[in-house]
């Protein structure tokens, strides 16, 4: 077996819920330049994947996996090798049923970060549903919510994996996983479940983190405004009636 450079948490501009600017092809090209061999595309809420991407990635030396950052009871959950049925998951009970009937890997992304979307106690309550805990790239030397995630992984024996949560290409490569496996699905899943993973990570500088947070916040606001205006336009179109002319 070899050590594979892998990232299981990335986003592309195919997702309508993010202000991501790069395409899947641009992400694949950048990952290949950085020497990655395994990559999962995990856009929010919906599985968005193309066999064309998989074929292109293979030409660049990348094993590409479909995935999703699902919204389970308002908490983010990564599902690797997901299919479109994962789009329907709403509860942890749904996730349990789906996990039993599909060959997937379930990860806890940024579980102890600030914000209601992070799992926190839900991870502890439903830990039997998870195969791995993420060490997220967005942290600095003085701000690192990954520490309780690493502590939880040690306490439970769960595998800790590094994930970039890439929304901008320069995030890729900050934090990733080295996996002792062959570049195929079963070998990769077996390695993660068996703990044959090393996390490689370096923190953002404080000014980098502030700049990235501001950029992502502005992108998020723009997307919210677009959705708001689109919703209002749709409502107007639904209520519009052709005028009646009387002679």
CATH number of the domain enclosing 26: 3.20.20.140
Question: Is 217 inside a domain boundary?
Answer: no
CB-CB neighbours of 102 under 10 Å: 13
Question: Is 229 inside a domain boundary?
Answer: no
Question: Is 241 inside a domain boundary?
Answer: no
Report the number of distinct structural domains present in the chain: 1
Place of tokens 């209002």: 232
Q: Which of 183, 173, 174, 176 is nearest to 197 (CA)?
A: 176
Place of tokens 């983010």: 76
Question: Is 144 inside a domain boundary?
Answer: yes
Question: Is 64 inside a domain boundary?
Answer: yes
CA pseudo-torsion sign 100, 102, 103, 105: negative
Range of the domain at 179: 2-204
Question: Is 168 inside a domain boundary?
Answer: yes
Beta strand 159-163 with 175-181 is unpaired
Asked if residue 74 lies in contact with residue 100, where contact means CB atoms within 8 angstroms, the answer is no
Asked if residue 18 lies in contact with residue 44, where contact means CB atoms within 8 angstroms, the answer is yes
pLDDT per residue rounded down to tens, the chain (247 residues): 899 999 999 999 998 777 789 999 999 999 999 999 999 999 999 999 999 999 999 999 999 999 999 999 999 999 999 999 999 999 999 999 999 999 999 999 999 999 899 999 999 999 999 999 999 999 999 999 999 999 999 999 999 999 999 999 999 999 999 999 999 999 999 999 999 999 999 998 888 888 877 776 665 555 555 555 555 555 555 555 444 444 4
Question: Is 211 inside a domain boundary?
Answer: no
């Amino acid at each position: 077996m070899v050590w594979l450079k892998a990232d299981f948490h990335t986003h592309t501009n195919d997702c309508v819920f993010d202000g991501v600017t790069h395409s899947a092809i641009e992400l694949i090209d950048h990952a290949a330049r950085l020497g990655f061999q395994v990559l999962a595309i995990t856009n929010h809420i919906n599985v968005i994947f193309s066999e064309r991407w998989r074929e292109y990635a293979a030409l660049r030396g990348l094993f590409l996996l479909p995935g999703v950052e699902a919204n389970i009871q308002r908490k983010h959950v990564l599902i690797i090798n997901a299919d479109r049925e994962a789009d329907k998951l709403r509860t942890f009970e749904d996730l349990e049923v789906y996990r039993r009937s599909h060959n997937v890997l379930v990860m806890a992304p940024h579980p102890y970060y600030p914000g209601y979307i992070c799992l926190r106690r839900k991870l502890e309550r439903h830990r039997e549903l998870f195969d791995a805990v993420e060490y997220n790239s967005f942290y600095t030397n003085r701000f690192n919510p990954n520490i309780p995630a690493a502590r939880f992984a040690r306490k439970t024996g769960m595998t800790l994996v590094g994930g970039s949560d890439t929304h901008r290409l320069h995030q890729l490569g900050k934090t990733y996983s080295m996996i002792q496996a062959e570049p195929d699905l079963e070998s990769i899943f077996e390695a993660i479940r068996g703990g044959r993973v090393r996390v490689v990570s370096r923190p953002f500088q404080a000014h980098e983190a502030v700049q990235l947070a501001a950029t992502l916040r502005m992108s998020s606001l723009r997307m919210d405004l677009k959705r708001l205006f689109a919703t209002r336009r749709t409502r107007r179109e639904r209520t519009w009636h052709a005028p009646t002319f009387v002679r």
